[in-house]
C-alpha cells in the first residue's frame, strides 16, 4: 500500500494534525522540550513531563499502525507503518551528531 493510501486510513484528527505539522519548520537546534508525549493508534503510549517518564500498558497483541511524538504540544515526529511522514527533529539530530564529533565521542 502506498503512503497516500495509508494516510487515508487515518482518522480526520490525525490527518489534520499531519497537515498542520507539514507547514511548520524543523525544531531549533537547541530545543529542549518540557513535555514529551508519544501516541499510537490506541492513544497515549508514553511520555515525560519535566524529566519524569511514564508509560501506558500495551499487550503483545495490541498492534499499532503509527507512532506520533508531540513535544510541548506540537507534533514533531510521525511514523506510519514503514514510513516517516513528519520529522521536525532533523536539525536536533544533526546538532547532536556534530556535538559528539566535536567532543570526540
d(CA 105, CA 103): 6
User: What percentage of the chain carries pLDDT values higher than 90?
Assistant: 51
Torsion of CA 61, 62, 65, 69, to 10 degrees: -140
d(CA 104, CA 32): 23
Q: What is the mean pLDDT of the chain?
A: 85
Q: Per the structure block, which three cell numbers stand in for 67?
A: 507512532
Q: Which of 66, 73, 72 is nearest to 39 (CA)?
A: 66
| pLDDT number for residue 34 | 94
pTM of the model: 0.81
Q: Which of 84, 53, 50 is nearest to 68 (CA)?
A: 84
Amino acid at each position: 500500500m502506498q503512503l497516500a493510501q495509508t494516510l487515508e486510513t487515518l482518522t480526520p484528527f490525525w490527518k489534520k494534525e499531519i497537515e498542520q505539522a507539514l507547514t511548520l519548520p524543523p525544531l531549533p537546534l537547541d530545543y529542549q522540550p518540557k513535555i514529551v508525549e508519544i501516541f499510537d493508534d490506541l492513544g497515549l503510549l508514553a511520555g515525560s513531563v519535566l524529566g519524569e517518564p511514564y508509560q501506558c500498558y500495551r499487550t503483545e497483541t495490541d498492534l499499532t499502525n503509527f507512532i506520533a511524538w508531540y513535544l510541548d504540544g506540537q507534533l514533531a515526529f510521525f511514523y506510519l507503518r514503514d514510513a516517516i511522514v513528519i520529522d521536525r527533529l532533523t536539525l536536533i539530530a544533526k546538532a547532536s551528531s556534530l556535538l559528539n564529533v566535536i567532543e570526540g565521542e
